[in-house]
Amino acid sequence: MSRLNLDDFSELIERPDSGVRRDAEERRERLTVPPGALGRLDELGEWLSAAQASVPVKPVGQPKVLLFAGDHGIAGLGVSGRAAGTAHLLVRAVLDGASPVAVLARTAGVPVRIVDAGLDCDPALLPEEIVRHRVRRGSGRIDVEDALSADEAERAVRLGMALADEEADSGTDLIVLGDLSVGGTTPASALIAALCGTDASVVTGRGGAGIDDLAWMRKCAAIRDTLRRARPVLGDQLELLAAAGGADLAAMTGFLLQSAVRRMPVILDGVVSAACALVAQRAAFRAPDWWLAGQLSGEPAQAKALDRMALNPLLDHGVTVGEGTGALLALPIVRAAAALAAELPEKEKEKAPEAEAAPDPASDPASAPAPTGIDTD
């Protein structure tokens, strides 16, 4: 297997069809509802038209929630509100229908797929279709060691690429992307800080589970130490993911890149998916045109990453639970935009006024020509 070069994606990824988008914009001008009256829903409908290469836009008929699961060794430092090595409990809650994303997905009728990229648990605890993709058991403690070996990082990215192909080939037309991780916001924040050239304190948040001030200081120190290790490999995205990411983050990055190749739109969730998107953008600058930011999670690193990618979140409800919940909340808005763009009627064309018939001189004496002289014959 030849070494993967993420920079190759730059030539493989094209932007959504600009010609189709112009056609969608022109069609919007013809609708009965005045332009601008639907706010951002107009923009969403046009974006989806371009992504689908279809005017009018087609309904979002086969969306899917995809969650990458993994444990991070850095959680052992007490930087998370959950105990290290317990991400499998988050997976079990989704499977049992007892988590927010499971409830919302059930309500919306959207299937959920979970992929174990790097959980730190006995595989027998979870169904085989979830654990069969595992790259390694947990990721390394990134403040003092690499999260993954070079080979593991490449395997994880290729896993994400293969999953994108599977979903595209099966007819999935939109992905709601999230993570099920313990300690995942720490490597995500470190990646964003490294790529944005900022300090640890600027990107360190409280995480989805919430942490106290002491844990926040430990997290900030861990990100600072990770940055020292990550900066020498900033020129190589795969090495960066190995040094400061994790199996789930590397797989998610590969998924985002290949989804853009396959022209499959993705709704991003929180700081973890934003970090992976930022790494993917560094490899292929057109890739963010295929993504939507579902929500603003309150994590400072996420806001910084979205700003760097010029992605404007659809929602800001203060949802910090992660697990794809915020992105799934945005799905009805995307579906509504598609329905409005496709089903609202166009204005009736104005009929041109009929030309008045010229009067018949024979029937109108007043219109007869006046005599021009005396007839001498």
46 is catalytic: no
**How would DSSP label each residue in 168-214?**
HHTT--EEEEEEEEESTHHHHHHHHHHHHT--HHHH---TTT---HH
What is the spatial distance between Cα 364 and Cα 102, in angstroms, rounded to a whole number? 84
Question: SS3 of 93, please?
Answer: helix
Catalytic residue (choose from 46, 152, 299, 323):
323
Which uninterrupted H or E stretch holds 332? helix 325-343
Peptide bond into 371 cis (omega under 30): no
Answer left, alpha or beta for residue 78, where phi above 0 means left and psi between -120 and 50 means alpha.
left
- What is the CB neighbour count within 10 angstroms for residue 291? 24
Are 273 and 302 in contact, with CB atoms under 8 Å apart? no
What is the spatial distance between Cα 338 and Cα 239, in angstroms, rounded to a whole number? 39
Write out the catalytic residue numbers.
323
